[in-house]
Amino acid sequence: EESLQMWDLNKRLEAYLARVKFLEEENEVLRAEIQSAKGSPAGESWRAKYEEELRVLRDALDRAFREKCTAELARDNLYEEVQQVKSRCQKAQAARDEAKKQLSLSRKELEEERRAQIWLKERAVQLEKEVEALLEVHEEEKAGLDQEIASFSQSLESFRCAPVAFQPVEVEDYSKRLSEIWKGAVETYKTEVSQLEGSLCQAKENLWKAVEDNQQSQLQLQHLEKDLAGLKARKEMLEESLARQWQEQRGEAEKFQLAMEALEQEKQTLRVQIAQVLEDRQQLMHLKMSLSLEVATYRTLLEAESTRLQMPAG
């Protein structure tokens, strides 16, 4: 274990020495470049180049910020459109609920009309039965009256056979009474028949009205069913358009998110590059200052040496 630790330390020491050697070589190269830059007027070009890079980076940063603002504005617009589509869907849902309510009411009215129609049919059958019963009663009364007339004619024959007991006054009274009874029965029968015919006509009119109302209710029900089918189709179209818009919005949001991430990465890269440029510039400034101090030191030493050499001659 100790030998492994020593081997690791030796490797780290070798890497450190190699790094120091590499840095010394880079330092020598930088010194040579600085000397060549001092000897040539290319130093200003380096500064101009760095300033141009900084300006380009600032412009790119401004463009990224403007694109970000544009993306946020587009996102807000899409949110407003989604809210409008939601409100339209809510209105369509309310209209569909209202159509369902109207359809249920129409169905109830149709059921009531059907019940009324059934009741009218039963009432018409009942009235027909009553008319038949009244006709039977009328036939029976007519037969009874015929029997009474026959018996009366037989009594007249008996009166003819027995002329001694014939009393014309009583016969006239009896005939008058019989005619009055017959007239009253006929008038009663006519009145009942007219009442039955009126009630039958009224029942037929009610039946026709019920049939017409039923037809109108069926037509209205068909219209409501058509409206409901149209509303369903419109709802499906709105749902499909909403889903499509949601997908498009999601895709655009993902694109915007990717663009924002790319811009953020580019921003971080620009920051790193700007920091690197500033650091290089700071290092150049420090190197320039150190070179200036070194030149000043050499100049002082040369002046001192020249002074020292001139002193004995004087």
Whether 99 and 231 have beta carbons less than 8 Å apart is answered as yes
Which token pair is 44? 């200003």
Mean of pLDDT values over 293-297 = 77
Distance between CA 20 and CA 30 in Å, rounded?
15
Contacts for 266-271 with beta carbons within 8 Å, 24 or more apart? 266/60, 266/64, 267/61, 267/64, 270/57, 270/60, 270/61
Find the range with the poorest average confidence among 16-20, 109-113, 167-171, 254-258: 167-171
Q: Look at residue 283 and tell me whether its pLDDT is greater than 50.
A: yes
**CA angle (299, 303, 309) in 5-degree steps:** 145
What is the dihedral angle through the alpha carbons of 280, 284, 290, 292, rounded to the nearest 10 degrees? -170
Q: Quick check: helix, strand or coil at residue 42?
A: coil
Residue 238: which of 95, 77, 99 has the closest Cα? Answer: 95
What pLDDT is attached to residue 256?
Answer: 81
Distance between CA 234 and CA 237 in Å, rounded?
5
Q: Look at residue 81 and tell me whether its pLDDT is greater than 80.
A: yes
Mean of pLDDT values over 54-73 = 85
Highest mean pLDDT among 72-76, 126-130, 309-313: 72-76
Residues 6+ away with beta carbon under 8 Å from 68: 260, 263
What pLDDT is attached to residue 312?
Answer: 53
What pLDDT is attached to residue 19?
Answer: 85
How far from each other are the two terminal CA atoms of the chain, in whole angstroms?
Answer: 74
What pLDDT is attached to residue 41?
Answer: 58
Q: Look at residue 110 and tell me whether its pLDDT is greater than 50.
A: yes
Supply φ then ψ for residue 139, to 5 degrees.
Answer: -60, -40
Q: Where are the alpha helices (DSSP H) in the chain?
A: 2-39, 43-161, 168-313
Which token pair is 9? 């330390």
What pLDDT is attached to residue 164?
Answer: 43
Rounded to two decimals, what is the model's pTM? 0.30
Q: Look at residue 58 and tell me whether its pLDDT is greater than 80.
A: yes
pLDDT mean across residues, the chain: 79
